[in-house]
Amino acid sequence: MTKIKILPEILSNKIAAGEVVERPASVVKELVENAIDAGSDKILIEVEAGGKSLIRVSDNGCGMGRDDALLAIERYATSKIATESDLDNIGTLGFRGEALPSIAAVSRFTLVTRQADSDIAAKIFVEGGRIKSVGETGAPLGTMTEVRHLFFNTPGRRKFLKTTTTEIGHIVDVAVHAALARPDIRVRLVHNGRVARDFLPVSDPADRIADVFGPDIRPLLYPVKRPGESISISGWIVDPAMDNGSMNRIFIFVNGRHVKDRGVAYALVDGYAGRLMKGRFPMAVIYIEIPPGQVDVNVHPAKHEVRFVRPKEVHESIRSAVAAAWQSDPAPRDQDAGPRMGEDNSQTEFRTGPVFYGRTRVSEPDVPYDSGRRADMPGFGEKVMHRSKNGQPAKMPRKKPGLEPGQAMQAPIWERTGLLDAVLIGQFKNAYILCEIGDELVFIDQHAAHERILYERLKKKRDAGAIPVQKLLMPETVELGASESALIEEMVGDLATLGLDIEHFGDETFVIKSLPAMIADREIKPLLIEFASELAGDGYTPGLLAVMDKLTILMACHGAIRANQHLLEKEMRALISQLAECDNPFNCPHGRPTTTRWPLRTLEKAFKRIV
């Protein structure tokens, strides 16, 4: 008797479900993707109890005939690809042919679907993977898929479901991803009979972003546009003031598919070039259009991950697209840009001033933008604005406590010209310059500001291409690990343009013949290993340039005036005007703010002149 047997199909579908159907949100994701692939422009998602008892997705797409519908719940049955070569050119969101049978294997599953050329819809009911009934019914054009009692026959999996709040949070995420991916589609999410999200079709994707994150985000959006022959990048990046400790507010869509990709996220951070503090991530919505042959989406059953054939090119496209976006104007800002610092906390006293300890921002709304629409929903609103439903500041994500006060108000980038109108008041504690700009009291950290000025000067010289190179009397040999040397070998050309003349000497040995004069006194081996490990980590980091940048920052830092240094009035004025000329006057090269601002209203409130 053989020990190895082919698994019965129902069992193998259940196993496949383990990969594809992790939680109710994965069901929603698969069904919504099917709806989009079917060409729908309206998608209704109805869930009950966080999707644990019911998930129903209805669309107005092309629908299926009775036979196709029956086939669709067979494993590896799909209309989306037919031949092997199609796999290299996937234009649809789904293609594996696994989703429906997997879902049907672990739920009570009903499929109702009607094509345009038929008056009658097919209705199929499947329970735990077994087709229980096939019939006909009347139904509107399109497909309705109903999933009840998910995991009813896999109690092990059922145990791992989290609370309704958590599960619906994940479903909201899925709806938001779909909404951001396709602004032209109406996406409506109903939970326990109440409308949780309703995104109407819009022609300008920025409107959809505003719908998702609240209208106050609009003035903070910088459009990204980089059409290209092979890779096109578009989307919006958000002012660095809206930064975040994690990557979960970076939304990346590759050919319309929402994916999570650290490489893309790091490329974004590179594009922010010094506008972010180390370890902080921006908020952004980025669409990458790339020929299907240039990207592998078949990495993960749920297709969360992708691999690019030429990651370096993608990285550079994104970085340069984002870097260029700062040159453009943000979306027009409302005249009354909404509440300012501390506005929703009128009890605040100046002295204790929690307003200065929270991450209050210039254009933070005082009410949740979506209040009333979905009182019981956790999800994006709170995540983005750190608000709870009653409009009070929710618990802020904590950073190092020592950093909090200085970050009270970081001026947005487009107000740099304001610095030119600064009226000097004086110096505080020999460390901060006080001045008046319009209706605001502005503090400038003299060290950070000078650091920024020097950094930009040094960087300009460096970027002018005149990198002096010191030749070495005795070429230095460096032994690297196998993976590191493979990466460095690829970079030899790039490194040479930066003055690092390096030759592959066989196996894992490299010979260095010259160094950029700036780093000629440093030992090169640790630097090389550092680039190589960064390369290995992200897939693509413009290694040496980044390290040259670190060195530039270091030199700027050493050259800059310190705190506890008395400045003459003339010196302060010079510092402010030089700062105003910087490309990014609002952050030191390490990403710390150079300025912090107290609006007049805050003072007036502190003195109880207004309430």
Partner 1 sequence: MRFIIQKESISDVLIRVQGLAGRKTSLAITENILIKTSENGIIISATDLETGFEGFYPALIEDEGEIAINARKLNEIVKSFPISEIHVQDMENRWVEISSEKVEYHLVGADPEDYPNIPRIENVDYFKMNSLSLKQMIEQMVFIAPRGEEKRPHIVGVLFERLEEEGQQVVRMVSTDIKRLAKVDYICDPESACKADKSILIPKKGLVEINKFLEEEGEVNIGVQGNHFVVKKENEIILVNLMEGDFPNFTPLLKQDPSLNIFFDKEFFLMMLKRMSILTSDNYKGVVFHFENNQLLMRTINASLGESKETIEINYGREPLELAFNPRYFIEAINFIGTQKVKMNIRDRESPCFILPDDESTNLHVIMPMSM
Residues making contact with partner 1 (CB under 8 A):
457-458, 461, 464, 466, 468-474, 476, 514, 517-518, 520-523, 555
Q: Shortest approach of partner 1 to residue 471 CB, angstroms? A: 4
Specify the residue, 132 or 461, whose C-beta has the smaller distance to partner 1: 461
Q: Shortest approach of partner 1 to residue 408 CB, angstroms? A: 35
Specify the residue, 204 or 523, whose C-beta has the smaller distance to partner 1: 523
Q: Shortest approach of partner 1 to residue 579 CB, angstroms? A: 17
Specify the residue, 53 or 514, whose C-beta has the smaller distance to partner 1: 514
Q: Shortest approach of partner 1 to residue 498 CB, angstroms? A: 13
493: which residues sit within 8 A by CB, 6+ positions away? none
Let me know: does 225 contact 196? Beta carbons within 8 Å.
no
CA dihedral 419, 420, 426, 432 (to 10 degrees): 30
474: which residues sit within 8 A by CB, 6+ positions away? none
Which whole-number Å values give the CA distances from 186 to 143, 182, 421, 525, in the listed order? 15, 9, 47, 55
Q: Shortest approach of partner 1 to residue 409 CB, angstroms? A: 33
The radius of gyration of the chain from alpha carbons, rounded to an integer in Å, stands at 28
Let me know: does 237 contact 224? Beta carbons within 8 Å.
yes
Long-range contacts of residues 565-571, Cβ cutoff 8 Å, at least 24 apart? 565/430, 565/431, 565/446, 566/427, 566/430, 567/427, 567/430, 567/433, 567/446, 569/424
Q: Shortest approach of partner 1 to residue 280 CB, angstroms? A: 29
CA atoms of 371 and 11, how far apart (whole Å): 45
Specify the residue, 1 or 474, whose C-beta has the smaller distance to partner 1: 474
Specify the residue, 325 or 512, whose C-beta has the smaller distance to partner 1: 512
Specify the residue, 344 or 476, whose C-beta has the smaller distance to partner 1: 476
Q: Shortest approach of partner 1 to residue 513 CB, angstroms? A: 9
Q: Shortest approach of partner 1 to residue 323 CB, angstroms? A: 23
Specify the residue, 380 or 455, whose C-beta has the smaller distance to partner 1: 455
Specify the residue, 282 or 516, whose C-beta has the smaller distance to partner 1: 516
Let me know: does 147 contact 27? Beta carbons within 8 Å.
yes
Specify the residue, 183 or 516, whose C-beta has the smaller distance to partner 1: 516
Q: How many CB atoms lie within 10 A of CB 606?
A: 16
Q: CA nearest 309: which of 150, 544, 521, 540? A: 540
Q: Shortest approach of partner 1 to residue 465 CB, angstroms? A: 11
Specify the residue, 56 or 459, whose C-beta has the smaller distance to partner 1: 459
Q: Shortest approach of partner 1 to residue 510 CB, angstroms? A: 15
Paired residues of 296 in beta bridges: 307
Two structure tokens written together for 402: 């020592």
Which whole-number Å values give the CA distances from 443 to 80, 277, 411, 449, in the listed order? 59, 19, 11, 11
CA dihedral 519, 451, 591, 275 (to 10 degrees): -100
Specify the residue, 133 or 509, whose C-beta has the smaller distance to partner 1: 509
φ, ψ dihedrals at 561, nearest 5°: -65, 150
Q: CA nearest 196: which of 59, 48, 29, 22? A: 48
Let me know: does 74 contact 16? Beta carbons within 8 Å.
no
Specify the residue, 478 or 579, whose C-beta has the smaller distance to partner 1: 478
Q: Shortest approach of partner 1 to residue 450 CB, angstroms? A: 15
Let me know: does 436 contact 422? Beta carbons within 8 Å.
yes
CA atoms of 379 and 382, how far apart (whole Å): 6
DSSP classification of residue 122 = E
- The amino acid occupying position 10 is I
Q: Shortest approach of partner 1 to residue 558 CB, angstroms? A: 9
